[in-house]
Chains A and B, each alone.
Chain A
Amino acid sequence: MAAVVVIIAGYAGAGAFLPSGDSFPEQSGPAQKNNSVSAQGDPNSQMNPPLSHADSIERMAIGEKYYSNICSVCHGDEGKGDGPVAKFLKIKPRDFTRAQFKFRSTASGQLPLDEDLYGSITGGMPGTGMPPFAQMDPKIVRDLIMYVKSLSPRFSDPTEYPLDTVKIGTPVPYTTESVRRGRAVYVKAKCWTCHGMQGKGDGPAVDNQFDDKGNKLYTPDLTNAWSKKVGFTPELVYKIFSTGLNGTTMPSYRDGLTENERWDLANYVIALSERRKPYDGLDIPQDSQ
């Protein structure tokens, strides 16, 4: 697994946040309300035009307006995840001041890319109170991202950069053999301690899982696609294994498992959600990838 090291670029009191994905509509602006803005991104991607300071202030103001009128009801005025709606939700809203984002393209413990935040806002978090703002104007989503990043000092801390992004690489085909190997990896990596031997989220350690804020963690039932938040394809599951979920007890297996082992494990998890037979894999179509 080759990781791509990203660079920082800053200019005129504002900086660029460089996207690494083709689907991300436009680069985000500065992460800070004031100055010393950092940027991140793929050095091979095309750099977007820089923002003027006045444009940055204007966009930040738009982001703040939308945040305070929409996002703050759950995430709180200061982004601490303590808005008035939070008490009704079993899975608590993200505390933006800690900048611990679960679903990222970056290495364990690192900050997310803008496109990760873009995906979370427009795709939502199924099963939680976070709806998909898919029809929100992309420019406003970018402004929101800029404001959300301003809520944590981590985004303006130069020591947080460069970010180490996870490369998807070449998937291992979704075959019976891969699923069988994935099952072995599942046992070897002790995934069952939380997710249970059958993947139903009922492992022996499941009752003692808390996030970094002390909120109860709800281990997903991997056999129920509806209980998943993100891992709907082998690529997305692979990404989770490679990045870990910051702020939770789900670690990164980027160093603990080989790339192929992670792909096999991802195929096994997908097989679980499709209710394939996890042991003999008889229902897995050969070379269905």
Chain B
Amino acid sequence: MINFYRRVFAVLAFTLLPFSLANAIPMFSRPNHIPCSACHTGDFKLNDFGELFDGNGYQLPGTIDRTPVWENMIPPISLAVQDRESFTQTNDNLLPSNNSHAATFNSQTALLLSGGTIAPHVSYMTEYDVENTGNGELTAGLEYAFINLNNLFNTDMGQFNIRLGKARMELPFELTPEFYAANYLIYNYPLLISTINPLAFQLQMAQYGASVFGRWAELPFSPDYQLAISGGDAGEVNLQRARLIYFRVAPELTLGTIPTNIGLTLISGSQTIDPSDPSLLDTNNSFTYGIDWQLQDPWINMFTIWGQVMRFHNSNIQSISSGFFQDAAGGYLELDAVAIPEKLTLQARYDWLQEQNVFASVSNQQNLSQVSLTARWHLMPNVHLFIEGYNLTTTTTYPASDTQSHFYVSGGFFFGL
């Protein structure tokens, strides 16, 4: 633990030195002298302007930046540190011996980010994470790193871009699981049930691959779109034998007076697991589809409602067994409120996921539901305080009916530079 803080302090001190005159504005807002809320919603989601900035290759929309980051006076580096203290309680109806509760100082995360323009139409973004997993051990790794070939064909509003590298898929909003304890259940669910790396194809994780994306303002309803091909999140996944094709389109609509984005997502995946014994050759296919929405409150201009429902189907054709399939359906409904602009934001979310898997005529069903609440207080230009709590209830039917509940509440600070 002490080592962790020493390392964080060292990184902080190193990073603070060149930024002492920059009034501590993070990487992209610093050179433009604009507040975080110009691009963010108050937590880490991107607002409409942030989406334009992101879709334009981390350049202001309507412009093609020709100045590479190394010619700027301010280094294109940002640092984020989050620490939280938490209390957890677990109850198990079937096995009371599993009941537990604990108060811990258990989660610290530090991120180092860099991004910006390399050349006209070329930009990059990368994030390196260091995390204390709770038992004093540190994990570190490249969360994502990619190059954008942005504004191709001389457009200047992000109509056509290519992204290469390790990146998250375009979701209804910019996902930052690094800073939340409550997972979005559908983004945590594996899109391909893999025995090699079951975590390789979660939407919450960055994927190796390539994509074409952008916002085509000239088309009716100015749709956002992305078409991506992915090979998973880790090197051990055989790129030739596991792949995912991801497509999302999200037009802008107006329902009455309510500004709305409706998104449609289609994901197709397949993999062949090729063990040393040819008789165990195993092929797995998956298909996922979903619809998402974002509704802006036009009356008091305070609320945003986000939501997405997805349906997953995984089928596994084995040469030696009668087959396996797993279906799941789930989603979330989230209400975000800007209680005080640039000061206080509140979030309430309900997640649910129903899984059913069948193997050799044995069926197991698992239902998860989760309620989470978060409040973030922008204490100072670089510091947020937050409180986050959630309750996750899991009900299973096999081998016996059981209900578990997991209650979690935490508080901490976020520091961004």
CB-CB under 8 A for A87 and B301, given A66-B62, A69-B222: yes
Judged by a CB distance under 8 angstroms, whether A275 is at the interface is no
Give the residue among B41, B49, B217, B259 with the most A Cβ atoms within 10 A: B49
Give the residue among A74, A128, A131 with the most B Cβ atoms within 10 A: A131
A74 near B37: Cβ-Cβ < 8 Å? no
Q: What are 8 A-B pairs at a CB distance below 8 A?
A: A73-B49, A88-B41, A88-B342, A127-B33, A133-B60, A135-B63, A135-B65, A135-B67
Q: What are the residues of chain A within 8 A of B32 when measuring CB–CB? A: 124, 131-132
A137 to B151, CA, bound (A): 15
In whole Å, how far is B381's beta carbon from the nearest beta carbon of chain A? 9
CB closest residue in chain B, given A129: B38
- Chain B 278-307 against A: per-residue CB contact (8 Å), 1 yes, 0 no? 000000000000000000100001100000
A68 to B217, CA, bound (A): 9
Q: What are the residues of chain B within 8 A of A124 when measuring CB–CB? A: 32-34
Q: What are the residues of chain A within 8 A of B67 when measuring CB–CB? A: 135
A69 near B61: Cβ-Cβ < 8 Å? yes
Judged by a CB distance under 8 angstroms, whether A90 is at the interface is yes
- In A128-159, the 8 Å CB interface with B consists of 128-133, 135-137, 140
In whole Å, how far is A231's beta carbon from the nearest beta carbon of chain B? 14
CB-CB under 8 A for A88 and B42, given A69-B217, A127-B33, A129-B37: yes
Judged by a CB distance under 8 angstroms, whether A21 is at the interface is no
Q: What are the residues of chain A within 8 A of B341 when measuring CB–CB? A: 87-90
Q: What are the residues of chain A within 8 A of B37 when measuring CB–CB? A: 88-90, 129
CB-CB under 8 A for A84 and B47, given A65-B217, A90-B341, A128-B34: yes
In whole Å, how far is B87's beta carbon from the nearest beta carbon of chain A? 31
Q: What are the residues of chain A within 8 A of B301 when measuring CB–CB? A: 82, 86-87
B63 near A136: Cβ-Cβ < 8 Å? yes
In whole Å, how far is A136's beta carbon from the nearest beta carbon of chain B? 5
- Chain A 241-254 against B: per-residue CB contact (8 Å), 1 yes, 0 no? 00000000000000
A85 near B217: Cβ-Cβ < 8 Å? no
- In A62-114, the 8 Å CB interface with B consists of 65-66, 68-70, 73-74, 82-90
A29 to B326, CA, bound (A): 63
Judged by a CB distance under 8 angstroms, whether B66 is at the interface is yes
A87 to B343, CA, bound (A): 12
- Chain A 170-205 against B: per-residue CB contact (8 Å), 1 yes, 0 no? 000000000000000000000000000000000000
A133 to B34, CA, bound (A): 12
Identify 19 new A-B residue pairs, CB closer than 8 A, beyond the known A126-B33, A135-B60. Answer: A68-B217, A69-B52, A82-B301, A83-B48, A84-B259, A85-B47, A87-B301, A88-B38, A88-B41, A88-B338, A90-B35, A90-B341, A90-B342, A129-B35, A131-B60, A132-B32, A135-B59, A135-B65, A137-B156
Q: What are the residues of chain A within 8 A of B302 when measuring CB–CB? A: 87
A70 near B52: Cβ-Cβ < 8 Å? yes
In whole Å, how far is B226's beta carbon from the nearest beta carbon of chain A? 18
CB-CB under 8 A for A73 and B40, given A87-B338, A133-B60: no
Judged by a CB distance under 8 angstroms, whether A279 is at the interface is no
CB-CB under 8 A for A69 and B35, given A84-B47, A135-B65: no
In whole Å, how far is A215's beta carbon from the nearest beta carbon of chain B? 10
From A82, A89, A136, contact of B62 by CB (8 A): A136
Judged by a CB distance under 8 angstroms, whether B321 is at the interface is no
Q: What are the residues of chain A within 8 A of B47 when measuring CB–CB? A: 73, 84-85, 88
- Chain B 145-161 against A: per-residue CB contact (8 Å), 1 yes, 0 no? 00000000000110000
CB closest residue in chain A, given B342: A90
Judged by a CB distance under 8 angstroms, whether B23 is at the interface is yes
CB closest residue in chain B, given A130: B34
- In B46-95, the 8 Å CB interface with A consists of 47-49, 52, 59-67
From A70, A84, A85, A133, contact of B38 by CB (8 A): A85
> Which are the 4 A-B pairs with shortest beta-carbon distances?
A126-B33, A129-B38, A73-B48, A131-B32
A226 to B19, CA, bound (A): 14
A137 to B296, CA, bound (A): 32
In whole Å, how far is B314's beta carbon from the nearest beta carbon of chain A? 37
Q: What are the residues of chain B within 8 A of A69 when measuring CB–CB? A: 52, 61-62, 157, 217, 222
B38 near A89: Cβ-Cβ < 8 Å? yes
From A88, A130, A133, contact of B63 by CB (8 A): A133
In whole Å, how far is A217's beta carbon from the nearest beta carbon of chain B? 14
CB closest residue in chain A, given B66: A135
Q: What are the residues of chain A within 8 A of B296 when measuring CB–CB? A: 84
CB-CB under 8 A for A89 and B60, given A70-B52, A82-B301: no
